[in-house]
Amino acid sequence: MTPGSFQQDMSEIQNITVLGSTGSIGESTLDVVARHPDLYRVFALTGRTRIERLAEQCRVFSPRYAVVADAEAASQLRSCLNGKCGELEILVGEQGLIDVSEAGDVDTVMAAIVGAAGMRPTLAAARAGKRVLLANKEALVMSGALFMSAVRDHGATLLPIDSEHNAVFQALPPSYDRNPGAHGVTRILLTASGGPFRDRAPETLHAVTPEEACAHPNWSMGRKISVDSATMMNKGLEVIEAHWLFGVSADQIEVVVHKQSVIHSMVAYTDGSVLAQLGNPDMRTPIAHALAYPARIESGVAPLDMFKIAHLDFEAPDFRRFPCLKLAFDALRAGRGLPAVLNAANEVAVDAFLTGRIPYLTIPTLIESVMNKMHDATDTTLEQIEQVDAEARVLSQALIREREAA
C-alpha cells in the first residue's frame, strides 16, 4: 500500500474497469460513478450472471468493453442490447477479465468479483501498476504474499473497499508503510455486527435456512458474503485481509462485536489513543473514499445522525457460537497455504448450504476437516496456490458426497 505517495489529479478523468459490476459492490460503485461524470469514465464492465442487468449498465455507461463468461452469454448480451452495441466490444472468460484489468487505458480497477474467481484478474491489475480498489477479499486471503509483492514491485496503489479495512486505512497516518511498530500502532480493532444470529439460541442454529442466513440486520450484500457474515467467516477472512494490508500479526488484531455497524473499525496507538471511522452502513462511503483518495467526493450516503443512534454497544465474539472465526485465526497463525484451504473449503461449503446440500452447522465442521487433511499445503507460487485451491475444493466436494451417501 502506498497511501502517502499517491497524489491524484482530480482534473483528469479516470478510466475505470468494474470487475463484477452486476453484484452488490459493482452496483454501488456505478451509483457513485454516475454522480461524477466529470471525474470518472467506465472503461469496462463484467458480470457472470444477470446479463440483462449488465446490458442495462452498458446502455447507461457506454463502456468500451463488457466481459461475460462464455460465447453463449455474449450472444445473450448482444440480443439484450438489440444489436445496438455502438463501440462496445464483448470479451469472454478469464482472459477477457485479465485484459480489461491490465489494459493501458485503464487507471483504476474495482475488484468486486466474489471468491477465488477474482484472483487472477485482481493480480493482473496489481502487476499492471493500476490503482486497485480491493473488495474481493478472497483474492488477498489466497495469495496475500504474492499479491502484496506485486503491488510493491509494480508501483500499484492499493485501496481497501471492505468497510473495516477502509476505516483502518482512514485511521492510519498517510505515511503508513505496513510497519505498525514504526508508527506507534499497537492493535487493529475490527468491528463486526455479529450477523443475523448474534443473539439466536445456539440449539436452534441447526435449522437455519439460507433465507435466514442471508437476512443481514445492517448491510445489503451478495449471498455468499451474507452467509459468511452469519457464520462470521467474513470477519475471519477480514482478519487475514488486515494482516496482509497492514502488516499486523494475528495477536495484534482484535475482533469487536458492535451491533450497530456505525464504527467501521479502529486503530489503537501506543499512547492510548484509539482512532475510529464512523458512518452509516453503506458501501458507497468506502467506495467514494477509495475512488477519490486523497480527495473527498459526494457518495449519496445520508449524514450520520448521532442522536438517532444514541447507543454504541461492544462485546467480545463468542468463538463457540462462531467456530469459523476461530478457524480463520488458526489458518492465519498456521500460514503457508492454510488460508487458501480455508477459503476454498468455505466457498464450497457456503455454496452447498445455499443449494440445500448441507445444513448450516456443517459449514465449520467441513472446513475444519479439510484444513486438518491439508495441514501441510504450501503457497509459494501462483500455480501452487491454484493447486491448493483446487485440491481443497475436490476434498470438500468428496466430504459432502460422503455425507449425502451416509
Closest to 345 in 3D by CA, of 382, 395, 379? 395
Residue type, 340: A
Span interacting with Mg ion, options 15-23, 115-123, 160-168, 275-283, rule CB under 5 A: 160-168
By the rule CB under 5 A, 138 interacts with Mg ion: no
By the rule CB under 6 A, 221 interacts with ligand NAD: yes
By the rule CB under 6 A, 51 interacts with ligand NAD: no
Compute, in degrees rounded to 10, the torsion defined by CA atoms 281, 318, 225, 36: 20
Residue type, 58: C
The correct pick among 17, 136, 143, 285 for binding ligand NAD (CB under 6 A) is 136
Taking the complex as a whole, the smallest distance from the CB of residue 184 to ligand NAD amounts, in Å, to 28
Q: One symbol per residue from 216 to 245: x for binding Mg ion (CB under 5 A), - otherwise; what is it?
A: ------------------------------
Taking the complex as a whole, the smallest distance from the CB of residue 32 to Mg ion amounts, in Å, to 17
Q: How far apart are CA 257 and CA 198, in angstroms?
A: 9
By the rule CB under 6 A, 162 interacts with ligand NAD: yes
By the rule CB under 6 A, 195 interacts with ligand NAD: no
Please enumerate, as own/partner, the contacts of 274-277 that have beta carbons within 8 Å and a separation of 24 or more.
274/189, 275/171, 276/167, 276/171, 277/166, 277/167, 277/168, 277/170, 277/171
Taking the complex as a whole, the smallest distance from the CB of residue 20 to ligand NAD amounts, in Å, to 3
Taking the complex as a whole, the smallest distance from the CB of residue 2 to ligand NAD amounts, in Å, to 22
Residue 132 bridge partners (DSSP) = 109, 158
By the rule CB under 6 A, 131 interacts with ligand NAD: no
Q: CB under 5 to 8 A by kind: which of ligand NAD, Mg ion, none does 283 bind?
A: ligand NAD
Q: How far apart are CA 391 and CA 311, in angstroms?
A: 46
Span interacting with ligand NAD, options 46-54, 260-268, 351-359, 382-390, rule CB under 6 A: 46-54
The residue whose grid cell reads 467467516 is: 233
The correct pick among 1, 16, 25, 377 for binding ligand NAD (CB under 6 A) is 25
The correct pick among 1, 3, 23, 29 for binding ligand NAD (CB under 6 A) is 23
Contacts (Cβ under 8 Å, ≥6 apart) of 157: 1, 2, 6, 130, 131, 132, 151
Peptide bond connecting 323 to the previous residue in cis, omega within 30 degrees of 0: no
For binding to ligand NAD (CB under 6 A), which residues are involved?
A: 20-26, 47-49, 112-114, 117, 135-138, 162, 219, 221-222, 224-225, 283
For binding to Mg ion (CB under 5 A), which residues are involved?
A: 162-164
